[in-house]
Amino acid sequence: MATFLYRLGRGAFRCRGLVALLWVALLFAAGFGAASAGAPTSGSFSIPGTEAQKAFDLLDERFPGMAADGATARIVIKAPEGAKITDPGPKAEVQKIVTGLKTGPGAAEISSIADPYEAQAVSQDGSTAYISAKYTVNGMELKDDTREALKVSGEGAKAAGLNVQIGGDALMAAPETGSGEIIGIAVAAIVLVITFGSLIAAGLPLLTALIGVGIGVSSITALANVLDLGNTTATLATMIGLAVGIDYALFIVSRYRVELAEGRARDEAAGRAVGTAGSAVVFAGLTVVIALVGLAVVNIPMLTKMGFAAAGTVVIAVLVALTLVPAILAFAGRMVLPAGEKSRLFGKGKPAGAEKKANGGTRWARFVLRRPVMVLLAGVIGLGVIAIPASKLEMGLPDDGAQPVSTTQRQAYDMLSDGFGPGFNGPLMVVVDGDKALADSTVDRIKGLDGVVAVTPPTLNKAGDAAVITVIPKDRPSSTHTEELVHEIRDGSDENVLVTGATAMNIDFSQKMNDALLPYLALVVGLAFLLLMLVFRSILVPLKAALGFLLSVVAALGAVVAVFQWGWLGSVFGVEQTGPIMSMMPIFMVGVVFGLAMDYEVFLVTRMREAYVHGERPGQAVVTGFQYSARVVVAAAVIMIAVFAGFIGASEQMVKMIGFGLAVAVFFDAFVVRMAIVPAVLALLGHKAWWLPKWLDRLLPNVDVEGESLRKHLEKSSDSPKGPDKDRELVDA
């Protein structure tokens, strides 16, 4: 592996023009595909194998068109204080809205619209009414003039003194990240400049990461309609691809500068950097890909597509680091070095090999080695305390009730709740696979249950072999009382009676997530454990890595619960509305954070393993690993935190929550687990940390991440890396 990557990096360095041209061509091709593709969809949502999904499938089969995923809108109108919506003046304004939508711009995309006075959509107190509109396409595919016509439909009524708000997914738009993403990239640039002391070296990881993300996200956009990718898929791929892309390039550039400092020619330094740090990049990338692709075991198509799309972006980031980075290093010449180093490395100042004082990483490692028990206890107890809120985790699916109170969707939700009851925003749909007699008996039974406000008469299909019943609960959709009602209907019903709707979908989705969590953890952690055992030739080091990850991810979930569910420091992070944590959040965080956590494990511990293999004692190997890798790992972690934190400013709650969760998880994992707990555990284990049974050592292939075979290969090679021509290339570059 190391020898192959050495040749790849050296070849990319020497064929710099061709390599750069190929990547630019890929970027333009992906960009052209994205520009030519249709607008992305909102992504269909399904939960295979659940009762709620079976009900939707039955609806699609027996009631064609009823289960179609076209956008919906509810225009909610409330009369002024002291008036009623049925009074002539307000009624005329409401009917103007209906007429305007039927005949105005965008009317061609409306499949149905209901007059509230004919559809009995007026509250009992006469204060509120709502207009239901159904569109032929989903919210992301609506034309701009259609969406604009919906937004302004109530302006006349507002001028007449009525309160008009709009709910539903017809106003759905692509999530906006605001200026946070730009700030994140700016912070990353500052960290890179501080780390490298060179604007060129700092700009190189940013440039290559942006090229990689550009190719990945453009490809996702080009395939969005074909593969039915959700509108958040590209955002999440950007988040992960940008973070790992910068980090992987950072490690290659950092190792390249170390090789130059040892007096090697530039092409040789590039080859060795890719052969050593590049090996760590490959295996770190593999752990991320395994974690993301492993989301397929959950069997939620939307989550699977998100995982595969993000994994594809990570693969591109790895390929960019191995090929495009050495090519651009060839173009950059000596400019990747800070000004002082340019003179010292070439004999015009202090010799490159002169003794230097211990850096921060070395001093920290020595501190941990002196007090390993204290550091270990402080790290474990600290994360354990932060993880406590995770025990109160409540999961759910977002609806308009989770929107900020300033939005029209949230205000429409509240107006419907006030006028028609809290349960009106989450009606249950009961689908009966049978005749009218079964449907009527089902209605009679449901009417006798506590927590039911109203039950509509069954609506039969043309064949008379299926019926739909709407049940209005007494409580809001996310309440435990409504969940209990769903269970009561299901438990006492025939197997041909199925319950669906927002609350039922939420229950089934959360259960699906809970059931999949342990198998997913077993698969991902198991595969990554084997991978790390190959890399480190040890059993205890991968075990320690996995346990440390679990500690950091549970602590991160605790922080997410505290901020987004309990509202602690919510105003600081722009959380206007607290509520249940999205059901997919825990398992998605487990997947992404595990992959990213293993990045730091591989980069940091590989250096320790390299030193140990070359004869250093366990404690000194830990110091050596921190001496060469700590600063770069810290910089990489700060960059990743900055990139993820930039998405906290997103308009969509899911993206905001994931950005916060990943930023906090990386902070805990990099600075507490990898930088404190890991060296403390290795100090306590000593030689045992690197123990591997001989029989297992013989069975496992040697991937040689530390580059021992590469070193031997180069020593035997007749092509000496320090010939006079090479040295001249180094000086004249």
pLDDT digits (tens, 9 = 90+) for 248-301: 998 898 888 888 888 888 888 888 888 888 888 888 888 888 888 888 888 888
The reported pLDDT for the residue numbered 348 is 39
Helix/strand/coil (H, E, C) string of 34-59?
HHHCCCCCCCCCCCCCCHHHHHHHHH
Contact in structure between 139 and 39 (CB atoms under 8 Å)? no
Which structure tokens are listed for 541?
């080091």
Q: How far apart are CA 50 and CA 514, in angstroms?
A: 13
Beta-carbon count within 10 A of 119 CB: 13
Q: Return all residues near 674 (Cβ < 8 A) that are at least 6 apart.
A: 548, 597, 600, 601, 604, 633
* CA–CA gap between residue 473 and residue 583 (Å, rounded): 22
Q: What distance lies between CA 225 and its chain's CA centroid?
A: 20
- Of 255, 288, 250, the C-alpha closest to 274 is 255
Q: What is the pLDDT of residue 718?
A: 46
Q: Which two tokens stand for residue 496?
A: 């041909």
SS3 annotation, 115-158? CCCCCCCECCCCCEEEEEEEECCCCCCCCHHHHHHHHCCCHHHH
User: 497 forms bridges with which residues in the sheet?
Assistant: 432
Mean per-residue pLDDT pooled into runs of 10, the chain (733 residues): 84 92 93 75 70 87 71 90 91 92 86 86 91 81 85 91 89 61 78 79 86 89 74 77 86 86 85 85 85 84 85 93 92 72 42 57 92 95 95 80 80 91 88 90 90 88 89 85 89 86 83 84 82 85 87 93 89 78 82 77 82 86 88 84 81 79 91 93 91 86 65 59 41 36
- Alpha-carbon distances, residue 144 vs 149, 195, 202 (angstroms): 9, 46, 41
The helix or strand, by DSSP H or E, that contains position 442, with its residue range, turns out to be helix 436-447
Joined tokens for residue 53? 């999904």
Interatomic CA distance for residues 115 and 126, integer angstroms? 15
What are the tokens at 108? 């061609």
End-to-end CA distance of the chain: 29
Q: Which two tokens stand for residue 689?
A: 């940390």
Q: Nearest 5°: phi and psi at 161?
A: 100, 0
- The answer to whether 219 and 28 have CB atoms below 8 angstroms apart is no
CB 494 within 8 A of CB 276: no
Nearest C-alpha neighbor of 616 from the set 538, 607, 353:
607
**Looking at residue 647, what is its pLDDT?**
78
Burial class (CB in 10 A: 0-12, 13-18, 19+), 118: exposed
Tokens of 241: 């691809």
Q: What is the pLDDT of residue 346?
A: 37
- The pTM of the full predicted model, rounded to 2 decimals, is 0.78
Query: Cβ distance 545 to 287 under 8 Å?
Result: no
So what's the pLDDT on residue 90?
92
Q: Residue 400: which of 129, 649, 167 has the closest Cα?
A: 167
Q: Please, are residues 128 and 122 in contact by the beta-carbon 8 Å criterion?
A: yes
Residue 27 CB burial class (10 angstroms; 0-12, 13-18, ≥19): middle
Which of 219, 234, 244 is CA-nearest to residue 317? 244
**DSSP state at residue 479:** S
**Alpha-carbon distance values, 664 to 117, 301, 542, 570, 673 (Å):** 51, 27, 23, 14, 13
Residue by residue, DSSP assigns 52-117 as: HHHHHHHHHHHSTTTT----EEEEEEEPPTT--TTSHHHHHHHHHHHHHHHHSTTGGGEEEEE-TT
pLDDT at 376: 95
605 is written with which tokens? 């511990």
Tokens of 118: 């004919």
Angstrom CA distances, 387 to 384, 544, 601, stand at 5, 19, 21
Helix (H) or strand (E) holding 498: strand 497-501
- 354 CB burial (10 A radius; 0-12, 13-18, 19+): exposed
Picking from 284, 281, 360, 379, the residue whose alpha carbon sits closest to that of residue 683 is 379
| CA diameter of the chain | 97
C-alpha distance from residue 456 to each of 433, 493, 496 (Å): 17, 17, 19
- According to the model, what pLDDT value does residue 374 have? 96
Q: Rounded to the nearest 5 degrees, what angle is found at the Cα of 603, between the Cα atoms of 599 and 604? A: 115
Q: How far apart are CA 339 and CA 347, in angstroms?
A: 13
Measured between alpha carbons, how far is residue 649 from residues 122, 140, 238, 559, 668 in Å?
Answer: 38, 21, 15, 17, 21
- Beta pairing, strands 581-582 & 395-396: parallel
User: Which residue from 527, 535, 533 is spatially nearest to 280, judged by alpha carbons?
Assistant: 535
Please give the Cα distance from 447 to 39 (Å, whole number): 45
Q: At what angle do helices 653-667 and 585-613 cross, to 10 degrees?
A: 30
